[in-house]
Amino acid sequence: VDASATLLVDGVACAPVPLRVAYHKPVGAHSTMRDERGRADLSSALPEAWRAALHPVGRLDADTSGLLLFSRDGALTQRLLHPRRAVEREYVARVLGAVGASALGARLRAGVACVEAGERVVFRGVLLGAAPCAGAADESTVRVVVTEGKHREVRRMLHNAGHSVIALH
């Protein structure tokens, strides 16, 4: 059924069929459907017939890989993205340094000061786990949960907590 079609059941118009797509965004792709600078974007992630009907739900920076949803349901998008809903987002980061899980976990729960649009803000997260990277004594892998989607929040929070991010998924 074409995305623009009106569906009728016994002559009565129905709500559009929900259409959602889960997509693994690779590193290097920008979270926009069209990049004016010609950089890799999400335009090739969907079949051409769906591009006008669907929008990305949230964003991942170009240096981050991971799950990105597409939807045509604005109410769903609002429920998933609005900060008051506190929808959890889980990230796995490869960071510099050996991580003391209890110390980093306490720091993330207490909040890490960052700057957002020239203002001091405090980002909070929950550390789900930390482990040294195999073959790299000076690197660790951490799993972090946040409930907001601020610009480069996880990278900034971990950097300000003493562990710069090498890779984020």
Catalytic residues: 61
Residue 32 to residue 151: CA distance in whole angstroms: 14
Given a contact cutoff of 8 angstroms between Cβ atoms, the answer to whether 95 and 113 are in contact is no
Burial class (CB in 10 A: 0-12, 13-18, 19+), 3: middle
